[in-house]
Amino acid sequence: MDEATARQVLPDRLRGVALLGIVVVNAPPLGISVDGFTASSLAGPANTAAAFAVITLAQGKFYLLFSFLFGYSATFILRDGSAPNRRRFGRRLAALAVIGFLHAVFFYIGDILMTYAALGIGLLLVSRSPDAALRRWALVALAIGIILPFVMLGPLAELDPNALTAPTDPTLAALDAALADGSFLDAALARLRALPLALAALLVQQGALAFAAFCLGLLAARHRLLAEPRRQQDRWRRLAIAGCAIGLPLQILGAVMALSAPTEPTSPSPVAALGTIIVFSTAPVLAVGYLGLLGWAVAVRPATMSFFSVPGRASLSVYLGESVLLSILFCGYGLGYFGAWGAALVVLSGVASWLVLALLAKVWLGWFRQGPLESVLARWTGKPQATTGPA
């Protein structure tokens, strides 16, 4: 297989890593409370350490890495800017919106696919822009994404379904009750009622940052940044050192502040709310560090993290599958452990769900070229003209 037709391995590995990071962030709202970590779930050093690790190392970071890869893969549909390929990309966005809505209502209210579908329209509009214009769009979106949460500090505390310090909104409290004790239909109706609140929080916290990542991913694909990791070894090293050296201390500071929340959810701490905003606003710095670190590892040792490419090749199926498995484990219509476990066990259950689905994906991909949902989406979207790479 020559270079022009070979599937790029680094994007798949990055997707696999991102899926693991995303599920440990999603597990607390799925298994503890829609608010995420609660005071009771943090009792004991193991639970506190697990929450600290998730907030510091994962929250907001892997969502952006996944967004970067979404923009990167979009190029393999939009590469020539032709009308047929643009229509195919539009069909893909429509499918993601429908899948995301069903996912949010029936399994996980924090779904990212609807946000991707909405922001993808913007990506489609700027996709034929020259590199300089794309960089400007990315910088503007990045600035908005960093500044907006600070401007919205007060309102955000009311909207954010994952903030440790947010007063529990009645709609979200009703959702917690439905997830703990309700039927499948009760939980779905409660998610549907809370969906506007969750979408508003997600757009404020991460919408602009995700769009910046889309634009940067599109730029990276134009220049085949992920295609030949060894040729970019020096760049990966610089990104890894700078991103981790600057981003990690900021994330530690934000996590310490976020975990300073009082035991009473009705008495929000401004310090903790500010810490949560620092975590999300500075997440791009550490996400860049992760990109550099993972790219550097693969450049130095090409076989590094090869197993991660398995879930990465079936990323949509694994992403949705994680929510299905955790919903069955925690919700009242399943095994009923919602709110019963501490943070450490809930986070480990997220890791376990990723591992189970990665193993199932390995078996599936031994028989088929694509994951099950990827195959359905590809048929709906249609085959792009003159497409190569990790679409």
Token digits for 47?
């639970």
Q: Is the pLDDT of residue 61 over 90?
A: yes
Cβ atoms of residues 105 and 195 within 8 Å: yes
Q: What is the pLDDT of residue 1?
A: 34
Q: Is 268 helix (H, G, I), strand (E, B) or coil?
A: coil
pLDDT in tens, 201-235: 888 778 899 999 999 999 999 988 998 888 889 99
**Confidence band, pLDDT 50/70/90 cuts, at residue 45:** very high
Contacts of 286 (CB under 8 A, 6+ apart): 57, 61, 243, 244, 247, 248, 250, 251
> What is the mean predicted confidence (pLDDT) over 277-293?
92
pLDDT tens readout for residues 292-324? 999 999 999 888 888 999 999 999 999 999 999
> Is residue 388 one of the residues assigned to a domain?
no
pLDDT at 159 over 80: no
Give a yes or no: residue 298 inside a domain.
Answer: yes
In a domain, residue 14? The reply is yes
Task: Evaluate if residue 5 carries a pLDDT over 50.
Answer: no
Query: Are 201 and 58 within 8 A, CB to CB?
Result: no
In a domain, 3, yes or no: no
Structure confidence at residue 261 (pLDDT): 60
Mean of pLDDT over the chain: 87
Residue type, 364: W
- Distance in angstroms (rounded) separating the CA atoms of residues 203 and 253: 24
Predicted pLDDT of residue 389: 41
Instruction: Specify whether the CB–CB gap between 330 and 270 falls below 8 A.
Output: no
Assess if residue 297 is contained within a domain.
yes
pLDDT in tens, 140-151: 999 998 888 777
DSSP H or E run through 319: helix 315-330
**CA distance linking residue 312 with residue 289, whole number of Å:** 20
The reported pLDDT for the residue numbered 330 is 96
Give the pLDDT confidence score for residue 6 in this predicted structure.
56
User: Which of 385, 382, 212 is closest to 284 using CA atoms?
Assistant: 212
pLDDT grade for 59, boundaries at 50, 70 and 90: very high
Position 387 in a domain: no
Cβ contact 19:69 at 8 Å: no
- Residue 35 confidence (pLDDT): 82
Burial of 209 (0-12, 13-18, 19+ CB in 10 A): buried
- The range of the structural domain enclosing residue 16 comes to 9-381
* pLDDT at site 312: 93
Query: Which helix (DSSP H) or strand (DSSP E) does residue 185 occupy?
Result: helix 184-202
Q: What confidence tens digit (pLDDT) does each residue in 243-275 have?
A: 999 999 999 999 998 888 644 444 556 777 788
With a cut of 60, say whether residue 166 has pLDDT above it: no
Number of domains into which the chain is organized? 1
Percentage of residues in the chain with pLDDT exceeding 70? 89
pLDDT, one tens digit per residue, over 347-386 is 999 999 999 999 999 999 999 988 999 998 888 887 654 4
Closest C-alpha among 371, 380, 384 to residue 15: 371
DSSP 385: T
Mean pLDDT of 172-186: 91
pLDDT, residue 320, reads 96
Residue 219 lies in a domain: yes
Domain assignment of residue 1, yes or no: no
